[in-house]
Copies of this chain bind each other. A is one copy, B any other.
Amino acid sequence: MQSDNPTAAILVIGDEILSGRTREGNAHHLAQVLNATGFDLREIRVVSDNQDQIVAAVRALDSSLGGTYDLLFTSGGIGPTHDDITADAVAAAHGTTVEVSPDARALLQARCDRMGVELTPNRLRMARIPVGATLIDNAVSAAPGFSIGHTHVMAGVPEVFRAMVDWLIPRLAGGRPVQSLSVEVRRGESDVAEGLTEIAAAFPDLSLGSYPFRDHDVWGTHLVVRGLDGARVAEAMGALKQRLSL
């Protein structure tokens, strides 16, 4: 698919995904948001709560550090416990250190005051932000995310992650949203492959995908046309339906 939209990657940080305990959902949510707001998501990585792995991935993915993509979004590892090392690792990748941010501290203090609890050293850990970063606010938790370079660091708890995405994405400069049309056929992929190849060749500016599925032992295929120009997408879908006699 031809696109001059900003490119993006997502880095998910968390042993709980790699152990199979948790099925990842934050990247799926953000993928939908990014496609709808004009960002071209090219890669997702999941790494463990390991400093070296996180530093290497941030450097490989963030273009401000010589990495591949215009934007990098991370999920997970910014809580108050010993295994929450994302802030330190992202700071290291960006060649800076972590300090308690007065702004983040104020957010946490206000929340603690409202709840009538003490801002303990463990709670204060969540105000540790890389020097030079700006905060990502959210409506659910007082603990903020942060942006540094082209890296945007968000929480792993799904409700907090989504609240941070809601806050952050409108503040970034996206391109054109992806338009897509799909049709379901009760044929196997092999029986639509030839027509699909022809139409894909005739519309090189678009992406034509075929996604096989099984329903009660019968094979079917979802055909999806994607692109930035809605009229072209509609034209290609029309041509595809005609070619496959749908």
Contacts and interface: CB of A to CB of B under 8 A. Distances in A.
A85 to B, nearest CB: 12
A83 B35 CA distance: 20
A28 interface: yes
* Number of copies of this protein chain within its complex: 2
A20 interface: yes
A47 interface: yes
Given A180-B19, A189-B80, A224-B16, A42 B31 contact: no
A21 B125 CA distance: 37
Q: Which 5 A-B pairs have the closest CB atoms?
A: A20-B32, A20-B31, A44-B46, A122-B193, A82-B197
Contact of A23 (B25, B83, B193): B25
A48 B178 CA distance: 16
A226 interface: yes
A213 B83 contact: no
Contacts of A192: 81
Contacts of A27: 24, 46
A191 B79 CA distance: 12
Nearest to A33: B20
Interface in A220-243: 224, 226
Given A23-B25, A45-B44, A210 B35 contact: no
A140 B120 CA distance: 56
Contacts of A83: 200, 208-210
Contacts of A28: 17, 20, 23-24
A34 B46 contact: no
Contacts of A17: 28, 31, 44
A189 to B, nearest CB: 5
A168 B53 CA distance: 28
A35 B47 contact: no
A41 interface: yes
A4 B191 CA distance: 47
